[in-house]
């Protein structure tokens, strides 16, 4: 299936969802959703300075942007009529809504500034503005084979860059220089950039699941969490390994062994039809039974795709059913304040018969 055919099919599916929810138009401002629906690859540097937004009606599809992106938009989004706004995007949006007699317009409430929404209300008084989160995200949860291939390619680059980082890492290196080494290796291997800011957390910093790399020098025998990922054509990889430079301490061996057992149990049981809270419980029960339940505070994992964190969340909150085509992480962890932590993360594709592990890297300790 060509890129044009893929985006045409996505438009058909989204319009069916719009009919189901009673929307005559949908306004899309989230960059990942814009790229998924149109193929337009421009990046947004900040929330209030978008490189483009989509307006989709029952019969027409528009990409609203400014003159800086016109050539790129026309080339990358052939299914869309590119409209260049001359005064403001809201004024152009209002004109299009009036032209198509839009009565109910959905908008993405979690990716629109208050100022933008106020301007929409001021200029579009005859239009009922309806929060419509999740319509594109629902489509994005199920990956097609081309999407999976791009994520696997990103994962292979991540694994090779991480392998080079293993060889680079030694006591005395700082967290920051280790993170930068990984990111440079990843780009040299063909990534367009990091999927997210690389985490390198050592010693007490490893007790913080999303620690920011610092100039702290890594010491022997402490845990070093490296959470990293490459990005290829907008699609992301996400994996985590925990390293120990030198002799592991008894408490380190115990929590590492527990986290790995929890991960293996989840990897063995995760499948289509399971709910996200049931998937989370597979690993959480192992950690609870070992006495570390209070030190595993986050969900078991999350969806990955055009965003590093996307639906579904493998969480006890708001359970959802796992379906074939979803790509999720499995990343249990234990974090002991003042001492350190362990997290191990793999990516899996949910299939009709169970799941398929996408990682090849097998750098795990056998404690």
d(CA 330, CA 350): 12
The 10s digit of each residue's pLDDT in 59-105 is: 999 999 999 999 999 999 999 999 999 888 999 999 999 999 999 99
d(CA 22, CA 104): 8
Average pLDDT of the chain? 95
* pLDDT > 70: percent of the chain: 99
The 10s digit of each residue's pLDDT in 262-287 is: 999 999 999 999 999 999 999 999 99
The 10s digit of each residue's pLDDT in 27-56 is: 999 999 999 999 999 988 777 778 999 999
- pLDDT of 133 strictly over 90: no
pLDDT band at 356 (very low <50, low <70, confident <90, very high): very high
- pLDDT of 124 strictly over 80: yes
The 10s digit of each residue's pLDDT in 67-78 is: 999 999 999 999
Q: Residue 5 has what pLDDT? A: 85
d(CA 76, CA 39): 6
- pLDDT of 3 strictly over 80: no
Q: What is the mean pLDDT of residues 304-327?
A: 96
Whether 230 and 359 have beta carbons less than 8 Å apart is answered as no
Helix, strand, or coil here: 219?
Answer: coil
Domain segments of the chain as ranges: 3-140, 145-357
Q: Residue 367 has what pLDDT? A: 84
d(CA 54, CA 34): 6
d(CA 179, CA 186): 11
Classify residue 43 as exposed, middle or buried by CB count within 10 Å of its CB (0-12, 13-18, 19+): exposed
pLDDT band at 254 (very low <50, low <70, confident <90, very high): very high
Q: What is the mean pLDDT of residues 107-124?
A: 92
Q: Which of 327, 328, 295, 333 is nearest to 314 (CA)?
A: 328
Q: Residue 111 has what pLDDT? A: 87
Q: Residue 86 has what pLDDT? A: 86
Phi, psi of 176, deg, nearest 5: -65, -45
Q: How far is CA 175 from CA 51, 334, 349, in A?
A: 34, 20, 31
Q: What is the CATH number of domain 145-357?
A: 3.90.230.10
* pLDDT > 90: percent of the chain: 91
Residues 6+ apart with CB under 8 A from 361: 159, 162, 163, 239, 241
Q: Residue 4 has what pLDDT? A: 75
Please, what is the angle between helix 276-289 and helix 250-269, to 10°?
150
Q: Residue 1 has what pLDDT? A: 73
Classify residue 325 as exposed, middle or buried by CB count within 10 Å of its CB (0-12, 13-18, 19+): middle
Classify residue 74 as exposed, middle or buried by CB count within 10 Å of its CB (0-12, 13-18, 19+): middle
Tokens describing residue 2: 């060509």
d(CA 11, CA 6): 9
Fold of 3-140: Creatine Amidinohydrolase; Chain A, domain 1 (3.40.350)
Residues 6+ apart with CB under 8 A from 191: 154, 157, 158, 161, 230, 231, 232
The 10s digit of each residue's pLDDT in 203-245 is: 999 999 999 999 999 999 999 999 999 999 999 999 999 999 9
Tokens describing residue 72: 């790129």
The 10s digit of each residue's pLDDT in 137-152 is: 999 999 999 999 999 9
Q: Which of 295, 202, 182, 181 is nearest to 244 (CA)?
A: 202
- pLDDT of 2 strictly over 90: no
């Amino acid at each position: 299936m060509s890129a044009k055919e893929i985006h045409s099919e996505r438009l058909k599916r989204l319009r069916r969802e719009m009919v189901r929810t009673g929307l005559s138009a949908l306004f899309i401002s989230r960059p990942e959703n814009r790229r998924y629906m149109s193929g337009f690859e421009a990046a947004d540097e900040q929330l209030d300075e978008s490189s483009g937004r989509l307006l989709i009606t029952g019969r027409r599809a528009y990409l609203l942007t400014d003159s800086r992106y016109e050539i790129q938009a026309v080339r990358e989004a052939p299914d869309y009529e590119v409209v260049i706004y001359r005064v403001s995007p809201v004024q152009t949006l209002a004109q299009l809504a009036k032209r198509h007699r839009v009565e109910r317009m959905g908008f993405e409430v979690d990716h629109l500034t208050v100022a933008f929404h106020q301007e929409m209300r001021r200029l579009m008084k005859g239009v009922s503005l309806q929060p419509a989160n999740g319509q594109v995200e629902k489509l994005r949860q199920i990956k097609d084979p081309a999407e999976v291939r791009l994520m696997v390619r990103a994962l292979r680059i991540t694994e090779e860059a991480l392998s080079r980082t293993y060889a680079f890492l030694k006591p005395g290196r700082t967290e920051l220089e280790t993170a930068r080494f990984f990111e440079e290796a990843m780009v040299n291997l063909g990534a367009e950039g990091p999927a997210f800011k690389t985490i390198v957390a050592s010693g007490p910093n490893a007790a913080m699941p999303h620690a920011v790399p610092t100039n702290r020098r890594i010491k022997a025998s402490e845990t070093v969490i490296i959470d990293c990922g490459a990005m290829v054509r907008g699609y992301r990889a996400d994996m985590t390994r925990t390293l120990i430079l030198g002799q592991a301490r008894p408490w380190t061996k115990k929590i590492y062994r527990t986290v790995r057992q929890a991960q293996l149990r989840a990897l063995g049981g995760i499948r289509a039809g399971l709910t996200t809270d049931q998937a989370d419980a597979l690993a959480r029960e192992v950690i609870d039974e070992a006495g570390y339940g209070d030190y595993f505070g986050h969900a078991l994992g999350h969806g990955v795709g055009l965003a590093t964190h996307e639906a579904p969340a493998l969480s006890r909150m708001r359970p959802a059913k796992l379906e074939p085509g979803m790509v999720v992480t499995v990343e249990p962890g234990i974090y002991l304040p003042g001492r350190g932590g362990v997290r191990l993360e793999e990516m899996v594709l949910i299939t009709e018969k169970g799941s398929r592990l996408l990682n090849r890297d097998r750098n795990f300790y056998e404690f």
